[in-house]
Chains A and B, each alone.
Chain A
Amino acid sequence: MTGTILPVRESELDPATAVLDVTVADGDGHLGVIPAGGSLRIVDLHGNQAVDTLFYDAADVGNRYSAMDTVREQGAAYLTAGSRLLSVNLDVLATITADTCGRHDTLGGACAQESNVVRYGEHTRHQHACRETFLRYGAEVGIGARDLGHNINFFMNVPLTADGGLSFEDGLSGPGKYVEVRAERDLYVLISNCPQLNNPCNGWDPTPVRLLGWWRA
């Protein structure tokens, strides 16, 4: 992908008018509700931060984001401005309306204590991981292990190759880059601001992100 110019779409929305403005510390999580028509912006404050994100239809958490349905229906493995985020029922949960990073991963999944052991060895068993953050914050609205589908990794770079290869590379993001989604129905958004220290997804140094929301309060 080196040298490829990624499409960028800026947002018109003004942070001064946001009704939600919170910072999610590195390694922490967030559960929020975005009403239909509302917009959520995730700002990569320091660059190279993976923001593991799940969306659920707030009226039916069984109608959850589906990575595989999303990539298949759009014929594209990466997410960018214009991507529709589909549910297991093929409903459009959200649309990416602005993106100054250009490309986001949804095939790499979330880190977990157990997958850390598989990938890096037994010494990582008790390190903090996204799946545990998802379970901690999801529990507030009854989202449990059975309800965790495969997530989006905003700002993460997982290139595919024509011969079926897949790798993790340094992020394409940078300080202040952002992605913005518009909710197409009332949504829960479940975020783990990834604490991963063992691969380049966070540039080896997890950092906080800022969430901005625009909707009728």
Chain B
Amino acid sequence: MSEVLLSHEIPGGAAWSVLVRAGRELRLTALEAGANCSTLLYAAHHPVDRLNVPDTLKAQMSARVHAPMVLMSDRGTALCSVTGSSLDWHDALCGHSCDAQLERLGPSSYHAERNAWRRSARAGLLGELRKHGRGPADLHACVNFFAKVATSGDGTLTFMPGHASAGDWVTLRAEQDVLVVLSTSPHPLDPQWTPPAVLAEVRATAVPGADDPSWTFRDESARALRAAREVLA
């Protein structure tokens, strides 16, 4: 296991952002059961190139995010590859939570609860985005790592509580320099507010070889990875 370059524990219900250089790996670990990590991805050097969930799913014929899928941008480039995960299902259909959804939990304020004040993923993601000169127009469909929302043939969506256990993990290899913006507020369909913490670690990784699972997964995945190399060229 290579050296950890950066390690940061994100408390439950908080937001954080990190720039991950091309070739490095971001590992997210659920520190408690029932974690959720709503995650947005942006090409660090392009003002409007960002994760495109519909393109990612349709190009790889999947309604869930799993290893070794490639997370693709609006401009058809790989932002990150999901190089490994202890879970085979991460939700990408349901977006992030909004303030209106927290109202059902009753009032919450900084005054009453100090830092346990409940904030939606949207509030947290926007707060981080603004630090990078980005705003609401840059919000896009996220991946909810550690969450599962089952799909049925008639299109019904069902939130599966407790999908993640303590210690579940996912690793993302940056395929170009990427800005990662994430929120540990609960999944928008989670009826409870018991937000678990998530550990984020950045490590250097080896250059992927010809047998790399993300490169060999599908022709589409390899083409998006090749496009990312053109961005770096």
Spell out A's residues near B (CB within 8 Å).
1, 4, 62, 66-69, 71-72, 75-78, 88-90, 103, 107-110, 112-115, 117-119, 121, 131, 144-150, 158-162, 164-168
Contacts and interface: CB of A to CB of B under 8 A. Distances in A.
B201 interface: no
Given A62-B137, A68-B93, A77-B93, A162 B188 contact: no
B173 to A, nearest CB: 18
Interface stretch (B28-36, B61-69, B109-117, B209-217): B61-69
Given A76-B156, A112-B76, A160-B151, A62 B136 contact: yes
B140 A149 contact: yes
Q: How large is the interface on B (under 10, 10 to 19, 20 to 34, 35 or more residues)?
A: 35 or more
Given A107-B54, A109-B52, A162 B151 contact: yes
A131 B152 CA distance: 29
Contacts of B76: 112-115, 117-118
Interface in B135-163: 136-141, 150-158
B19 interface: no
Helix, strand, loop or mixed for chain A's interface?
loop
Contacts of B189: 72
A103 B223 CA distance: 32
Given A90-B100, A121-B223, A160 B141 contact: no
Contacts of B64: 164
A161 B58 CA distance: 13
